[in-house]
Amino acid sequence: MKKFEAVDYFNLNSLLSEDEILVQESVRSFVEAEVIPIIEDSYQEAKFPFQLIPKLAELGVFGMTLPEKYGCAGMNNLAYGLVNQELERGDSGLRSFLSVQSSLVMYPIFTFGSEEQRMKWLPKLASAGAIGCFGLTEPDYGSNPGGMITKAEKVDGGFLLNGAKMWITNGTIADIAIVWAKLDGIVKGFIVEKEFKGFSAPEMKKKHSLRASITSELVFEDVFVPEDNLLPEASGLKSPLMCLNQARYSIAWGVTGSMMACYDSALQYAKTRIQFNKPIASYQLTQDKLVNMLTEITKTQLLNFQLAKLKDSGKIKHTQISLAKRNNVEKALEIARIAREILGASGITSEYPIMRHANNLESVKTYEGTHEMHTLIIGEDITGFNAF
């Protein structure tokens, strides 16, 4: 099979700085050399490829937009976006790991934590010496996290935590969990360490999607959390929602990588698959499919570039991130389905990455706010009517 060539129909790479190109190329080479050869087996065997994590840490991608003082790379959001795109070209599960560690664990510690908490945890998380997870969703509160019933109660020297979280990426392997719970009816954030008594994180199995990623429950039974582990600056639902903005941003970029993987597979296959004595790429119906795929990828790239510019200039609105997450995931799923069609029966096998990406994208469409939630978020923004 011909070497992968990234889609760049509008020459967006010409807008990148040398540092951004370097980061993009180093992650692309990593994916080519270390991820592609093993990921289908990991997926089939439902095993998270943990051996890749120290190597990713060496590339400096965890919390890469945070300051160097905390062991992070201090890069911009455009570079972070590109890294998400390259990683998800490998697998959405790896991009999920990056999103959770960087956007949902390091970001809240940096934004809502004390200086002691930052110095204690951020360098460890950047080097993957510690793994984190983020517990917001509960069995009965998914799209409506404001209804959460996990509860913290003030006791001498700290808090007692009771309740449960569900569908938590990396839960079982995490050293710390950023847990959102109500204290006197107000949402607060806590750093729960894996050895705290009464805390467990059983893995959720039998998934058809994101099989190369760990998903877990978090259970809290009278877990004592010391005062020092409360995130002092987090208060109200707005705090976890601010974290979601970061992760949704990384998804908007990431799924462009999934699209590229599916498009590239379909294009290469169509050029070499002969039916009725001609390559199927020579038929107008196939060309129509490929051109539509290329057009949608290019549109998501343009959206992502402007999203990065808005984020780096501090002018981004969370509704703009919703629009990009909603659009890009939907288009990625459409592209995966069309790519599978182009490969005919071969499209259903693990010899090609398409069905893996398609199955992963079903989760990506649901997590970090479902497609419908983002419709309602944008709908409220443009009409002024809350339709939740």
- Residue 141 in 3-state DSSP? strand
Nearest-Å Rg of the Cα atoms of the chain is 21
88 interface partner picked from ligand FAD, ligand TGC, none, CB below 5 to 8 A per type: none
> Is-catalytic flag, 368?
yes
Looking at 155-163, 239-247, 269-277, 292-300, which segment touches ligand TGC (CB under 6 A)? Answer: 239-247
CA atoms of 35 and 25, how far apart (whole Å): 14
State yes or no: residue 96 binds ligand TGC (CB under 6 A): yes
Alpha-carbon distance 121 to 135, whole Å? 17
Q: At closest approach, how far in Å is the CB of 280 from ligand FAD?
A: 34
The encoded tokens of residue 182 equal 């109500």
In the complex with ligand TGC, the residue whose CB is nearer, 82 or 270, is: 82
Q: Could you say which of 195, 368, 372, 380 is catalytic?
A: 368
Nearest to ligand FAD of 79, 148 (CB atom): 148
* 174 in Cβ contact with 214 (< 8 Å): no
Q: Tokens 């020092």 sit at which residue?
A: 228
DSSP 322-337: HHHHHHHHHHHHHHHH
Q: Which is nearer to ligand FAD, 92 or 301 (CB)?
A: 92
Compute the distance between CA of residue 344 and CA of residue 143 in angstroms, rounded to an integer: 36
> 321 vs 342, which CB is nearer to ligand FAD?
321
334 binds, among ligand TGC, ligand FAD, none (CB under 5 to 8 A by kind): none
CB of 231 to ligand FAD, least distance (A): 16
- Residue 135 contacts which entry, ligand FAD, ligand TGC, none (Cβ below 5-8 A, type-dependent): ligand FAD
User: In this structure, what token pair is assigned to residue 362?
Assistant: 């079903």
User: For residue 306, what is the enclosing H or E element?
Assistant: helix 284-312
377 binds, among ligand TGC, ligand FAD, none (CB under 5 to 8 A by kind): ligand TGC
DSSP secondary structure code for residue 233 in this structure: T
Q: Is 367 in the site for ligand TGC (CB under 6 A)?
A: yes
100 binds ligand TGC (CB under 6 A): yes
Which listed option, ligand TGC, ligand FAD, none, makes contact with residue 146 (CB within 5 to 8 Å by class)?
Answer: ligand TGC
Residue 46 touches ligand TGC, criterion: CB under 6 A: no
CA distance 206 to 10: 41
Q: Does 149 bind ligand TGC (CB under 6 A)?
A: no
Closer residue to ligand FAD, CB minimum distance, 142 or 198:
142
End-to-end CA distance of the chain: 47
How far, in Å, CA of 83 to CA of 239, rounded? Answer: 25
CB of 333 to ligand TGC, least distance (A): 16
Nearest residue (CB) to ligand FAD, 28 versus 325:
325
The beta strand positions in 5-157, using DSSP E, are 132-135, 151-155
Cβ atoms within 10 A of the Cβ of 196, count? Answer: 18
Question: Which of ligand FAD, ligand TGC, none interacts with 80 (beta carbon under 5 to 8 A by kind)?
Answer: none
Helices (H) and strands (E) in the chain, counts: 12, 9
Among 176, 247, 252, 354, binds ligand TGC (CB under 6 A): 247
Among 12, 36, 160, 242, binds ligand TGC (CB under 6 A): 242
- Under the rule (CB under 6 A), what is the footprint of ligand FAD? 100, 133-137, 142-143, 167-169, 210, 215, 363, 366-367, 370, 372-373, 388
Sign of CA dihedral 99, 105, 106, 111: positive
Residues in region 176-235 near ligand TGC by CB under 6 A: none
Is 139 a residue that touches ligand TGC (CB under 6 A)?
no
Out of 212, 244, 339, 342, the residue judged to bind ligand TGC by CB under 6 A: 244
Among the listed residues 180, 187, 87, 183, the one whose alpha carbon sits nearest the alpha carbon of residue 134? 180
Which partner from the list ligand TGC, ligand FAD, none does 81 bind, CB cut-off 5 to 8 Å by kind? none
Which runs of E-coded beta strand occur in the chain?
132-135, 151-155, 158-169, 176-183, 186-193, 199-200, 215-226, 274-275, 278-279
**CA 227, 224, 131 angle in degrees (round to 5)?**
80
Q: Catalytic amino acids?
A: 368
Q: Contact residues for ligand TGC (CB under 6 A)?
A: 96, 99-100, 134, 136-137, 143, 145-146, 169, 236-238, 241-242, 244-245, 247, 318, 367-369, 373, 377, 388
